[in-house]
């Protein structure tokens, strides 16, 4: 069964460092998403991406965040200069054109020290 | 504002007894409704979804949910809990025109005891 894969599963970084989280969506999907879940809190929408551009972003997704689909398979989330409060589980998701169902990866846990 | 509320942060049931996890949403428009499950250290797995077809939706692992428009509810049920059902359950809503952006409830942690 096709699935969304994310790497790394866990990353520890120092405050101020750049982090790139990678995702390989399901191959025929065209819509891509990043969500995050701070420990003990709800899952929050960050950004949606379609046709090589951001279609919607939340207020969390400030100038420190960026997304890219560099090669037609990977979908990346970059945090330019990490802060302590960026520590969270980051989930990538994708969906096909004709369905509202999002398929999620297993998440990348980011710990900022 | 569009919102989704899970009324219980924690539910504990005995194995073999029924499960009820409650969810209510704000009623501005007719939404699509989902239940996702998250097992420890795992990703989010879709249990079931409602998208304006039958109001009683059957999902995986014996779970089902009933869409009640008059009550703006989408409660998740299972007749008989199993130990493997212990997990975090999220009620999730997508409103029309939001490009399938999902709004998550705060989650309900289901504990199943012997």
Q: Render pLDDT for A7-52 as a digit per residue (tens, 0 to 9).
A: 999 999 999 999 999 999 998 898 999 999 998 888 999 999 998 8
* pLDDT band per the 50, 70, 90 thresholds, residue B100: low
* Beta carbon pairs, A and B, within 8 Å: 53
Say what the pLDDT of residue A71 is.
84
What is the C-alpha to C-alpha distance for residues A112 and A61, in angstroms, rounded to an integer?
17
The parent domain of residue A75 ranges over: 5-112
Of the candidates B44, B99, B105, which has its C-beta nearest A56's C-beta?
A: B99
Query: For the domain that residue A35 is a member of, what is the CATH number?
Result: 2.60.40.10
Q: Render pLDDT for B62-85 as a digit per residue (tens, 0 to 9).
A: 999 999 988 999 999 999 999 999
**Strand ranges in A51-87 using DSSP code E only, listed in sequence order:** 53-57, 65-68, 75-79
pLDDT beyond 80 at A1: no
Contacts of B102 in chain A (CB under 8 A): 33, 35, 45, 102
What is the C-alpha to C-alpha distance for residues B61 and B81, in angstroms, rounded to an integer?
10
For residues B42-46, average pLDDT: 86
- Assess A73–B contact: CB distance below 8 Å, yes or no: no
- Assess A105–B contact: CB distance below 8 Å, yes or no: yes
Q: Under CATH, domain B1-7+15-86 is a member of which superfamily?
A: Immunoglobulins (2.60.40.10)
For residues B100-111, average pLDDT: 89
Q: Is B104 close to A50, i.e. CB distance below 8 A?
A: no
Give the residue carrying structure tokens 């699509």: B32
Of the candidates A43, A48, A56, which has its C-beta nearest B90's C-beta?
A: A43
Of residues A72 and B21, the one with the higher pLDDT is: B21
Q: Render pLDDT for A60-98 as a digit per residue (tens, 0 to 9).
A: 999 999 999 988 789 999 999 999 999 999 999 998 877
- Residue pair A108/A7 in contact (Cβ under 8 Å)? The answer is yes
Number of compact structural domains in chain A: 1
């Amino acid at each position: 069964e096709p699935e969304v894969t994310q790497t790394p599963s866990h990353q520890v970084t120092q405050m101020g460092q750049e982090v790139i989280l990678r995702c390989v969506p399901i191959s025929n999907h065209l819509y891509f998403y990043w969500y995050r879940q701070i420990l003990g809190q709800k899952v929050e929408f960050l950004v949606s991406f379609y046709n090589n551009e951001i279609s919607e972003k939340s207020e969390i997704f400030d100038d420190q965040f960026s997304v890219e689909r560099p090669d037609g398979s990977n979908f990346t989330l970059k945090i330019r200069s990490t802060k302590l409060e960026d520590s969270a589980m980051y989930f990538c998701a994708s969906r096909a054109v004709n369905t509202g169902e999002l398929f999620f990866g297993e998440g990348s846990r980011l710990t900022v020290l | 504002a569009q919102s989704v509320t899970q009324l219980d942060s924690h539910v504990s049931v005995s194995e073999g007894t029924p499960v009820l996890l409650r969810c209510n949403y704000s009623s501005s428009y007719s939404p699509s409704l989902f239940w996702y499950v998250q097992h420890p250290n795992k990703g989010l797995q879709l249990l079931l979804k409602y998208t304006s077809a039958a109001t009683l939706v059957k999902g995986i692992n014996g779970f089902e949910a009933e869409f009640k428009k008059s009550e703006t509810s989408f409660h998740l049920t299972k007749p008989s809990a199993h130990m493997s059902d212990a997990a975090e359950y999220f009620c999730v809503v997508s409103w029309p025109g939001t490009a399938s952006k999902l709004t998550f409830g705060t989650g309900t942690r289901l504990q199943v005891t012997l």
